[in-house]
Amino acid sequence: MTGNPGKRPLNAHEPRPVPALPECPPELSPASRQEWGRLSAELSKLNLITHLDRGALAAYCAAYGFWTEALEQIQKYGTMVKSPTGYPIQSPYLAIANRQAELMIRIASEFGFTPASRSRISAPPPDQLPLLDLTMDDYEPESAVDLGS
């Protein structure tokens, strides 16, 4: 609605892949596959997912799966554990959970999963086509008109 406040040139030749729901990779864990189902349904409703997004969404879902596994272990053993020598140390699961959370946030911003990243996405309402979305069948060049030569 505010146009282009940064006055950056817009890419008129930006590729626009057809929205489509990619197949869930079989390598994902059960928790990751559940997250895939949840997110792909939401992205599909908004026409924000294509076959090209499969790898990025799979990476997000895999990170989510590892994150949930690490959180389960932290809840089970705590954030501090005893080292082999008996001294208390930070649980290795805490580092795993933190790293996976970082990956999830980074990938989430690409898909618009965070409030800040959503504000940067501009998508037309589902019932409206963009003005420049013409196919060759819709286009009638002026030179094709008979000028009565």
Structure confidence at residue 121 (pLDDT): 74
End-to-end CA distance of the chain: 47
Number of residues in the chain: 149
Q: Identify whether the C-beta of residue 43 lies closer than 8 Å to the C-beta of residue 35.
A: no
Q: Is the pLDDT of residue 38 over 80?
A: yes
Lowest-confidence range among 22-26, 44-48, 76-80, 94-98? 44-48
- Burial class of residue 75 in the structure, from the number of CB atoms within 10 Å of its CB (0-12 exposed, 13-18 middle, 19+ buried): exposed
In a 3-state reduction of DSSP, which class is residue 24? coil
Structure confidence at residue 56 (pLDDT): 96
Phi and psi based region of residue 20 (left: phi greater than 0; alpha: psi -120 to 50; beta: remaining): beta
> pLDDT tens, 89-145?
999 999 999 999 999 999 999 988 888 888 887 665 555 544 445 455 555 555 555
The alpha carbon dihedral of 37, 38, 42, 48 has a sign of negative
In a 3-state reduction of DSSP, which class is residue 123? coil
Structure confidence at residue 69 (pLDDT): 98
Q: Which residues contact 34 (CB under 8 A, 6 or more apart)?
A: none
The phi, psi pair for 112, rounded to 5°, reads 85, 30
The one-letter code for the residue type at 94 is L
> pLDDT tens, 41-65?
999 998 889 999 999 999 999 999 9
The one-letter code for the residue type at 78 is G
Strand stretches in the chain, DSSP E: 80-82, 88-90
Q: Identify whether the C-beta of residue 44 lies closer than 8 Å to the C-beta of residue 19.
A: yes
